[in-house]
Amino acid sequence: MTALDLSSPVAVVGTGTMGQGIAQVALVAGHPVRLYDTIPGRAREAADTIGARLDRLVEKDRLTGADRDAARARLLPAEDLSELADCALVVEAVLERLDVKQDLFRGLEDIVASDCLLATNTSSLSVTAIGGALRSPGRFVGLHFFNPAPLLPLVEVVSGFATDVTYATRAYETARAWGKTPVACADTPGFIVNRIARPFYAEAFAVYEAQGADPATIDAVLRESGGFRMGAFELTDLIGQDVNESVTRSVWQSFFQDVRFTPSLAQRRLVESGRLGRKTGHGWYDHRDGAERPEPDTAEQRQPPAYVVAEGDLGPAGDLLALIREAGIPVRDEDEDNGTRMVLPSGGQLALADGQTSVEFRDVVYFDLALDYRKATRIALSASQDTSPQTLAEAVGLFQALGKKVSVIGDVPGMIVARTVARIIDLAHDAVAKGVATEEDVDTAMRLGVNYPLGPFEWSRRLGRSWAYALLDDLHLRDPSGRYAPSLALYRHAHASDKREGTAS
């Protein structure tokens, strides 16, 4: 099946923010659109709001006056569900309750034509369970738009267990015809984005709960070293702590309380206290008028070391060696295969985060992963109470000589960016191995749905096929709860790579 013809009416049931956004997308694409809400008068109000948005598009030269007038003429509020009888697609954006959605679609099934495509915009419920209430669940799909729907390009097209591929294809092609970027996804808790994104929040909260660093410092490291657009604390304040925690809890419960998706107790306390983020004026941060934003912890200026000794090429941190030389600091090379450490004049070592802790070694400072060491403006270091002050000072001074701000955090295995990226890579491999989506669609979804600088598989290729597995394996030894246990998919990926490259596992 191809995309719906533009002459085909599209209905949106539910006229909240998301419903209005989806209606606007279909309307601007050229469809006649019907709006329905169970609360009398809401559909008319929503139509007026959409009309005002079209006016603003004209003011911004994104829509012509003639196109706006034509779109307004195609937008019709419906007072009764029966007025949707001739629609070729009905998209639901109502309350996130299974019984409410099932009742709605049972009623629709008695009204619309037998080939009408029925879709839910749910972000947390099972598409299969909603469609299970229908006599003909083959025509039922998930069309998960991201808010704000008119602006964000991604649409997850979710096939339930009983969804017919022809209807999934029609939904996919229709979303693409509307100017969106669709990705195909099986019906799994969280779909693609909300499943694979959980570690971005969870690991930041875990570092905070372990008193490794404060929210402002963790956010700064994720942005300035990891390349993420926002840190986890500021992003959840924007989303709403209650909303973000609800999604995490839903995914966790849907996976039968899998420890990999365990919610954060610190975030739960935040929700219980009513500090929900920007919408209440206070979350992780104080958003009230006049409140000062806390600054990330930044180390005082230190002298750079006279030289460094590089043991190997530093692996994913290899660009540092060129930067150190450009800063005028001599680099002495020592041949060592796959080395990821530098020796400082104090005799201490500076090592890329690998899932181990500084306290395990005589004198080691760890540095965090960066998306791009040349462009990164901040680097995190971790040390234990036994680390030599001179070694830590030389490590701080080295990165400062490269033009980086330095944040010294606690002795947290895997640090901040490294453990976050490793877990995202692991969940992505696990999802693909279980048929949730293709590698390409996973990368597309994570870049467009949550603005990641790289997709998980792009990261995996850049860092090396065994990097994430090795880091998580070390983390799992130090936290055997199962939270960091590498998936079988990641294990196979890493060891298959070893065989192809002729190295020992």
Q: Which residues pair with 311 in a beta bridge?
A: 334, 341
Which of 92, 121, 126, 156 is the catalytic position? 156
Residues 6 or more apart in contact with residue 372 via CB below 8 angstroms: 227, 319
Catalytic member of 31, 109, 123, 264: 123
Angle at 189 between CA 186 and CA 192, to 5 degrees: 55
The C-alpha atoms of residue 219 and residue 230 are separated, in whole angstroms, by 7
Q: With beta carbons less than 8 A apart as the criterion, state whether 389 and 374 touch.
A: no
Phi/psi for 386 (5° steps) reads: -95, -5
The residue from 31, 144, 429, 493 that is catalytic is: 144
Q: What is the DSSP string of 395-434?
A: HHHHHHHTT-EEEEE---TTTTHHHHHHHHHHHHHHHHHT
Counting Cα atoms < 13 Å in the Cβ hemisphere of 479 gives 19
Residue 311 annotated in active site: no
Query: Encoding tokens for residue 219?
Result: 């956010």
**What's the CA gap between 147 and 99, in Å, rounded?**
24
Give the active site residue among 121, 126, 194, 382: 194
For the chain, the distance separating the N- and C-terminal CA atoms, rounded to the nearest angstrom, is 47
| Cβ atoms of 444 and 219 closer than 8 Å | no
Could you please report the per-residue DSSP string of 192-240?
THHHHTHHHHHHHHHHHHTTS--HHHHHHHHHHTT--SS-HHHHHHHH-
Using the structure block, give the residue that is written with the tokens 């995996």.
Answer: 460
282 is catalytic: no
Cα(227)–Cα(368) distance, integer angstroms? 13
What the block records as the tokens of 170 is 């029609």
Tally Cβ neighbours within 10 Å of residue 42: 17
Helix (H, G, I), strand (E, B) or coil at 448: helix
What length is written for the chain?
A: 505
144 is catalytic: yes
Q: Residue 254 — φ and ψ, nearest 5°? A: -65, -25
Is 194 assigned a catalytic role?
A: yes
Just list the catalytic residues. Answer: 123, 144, 156, 194
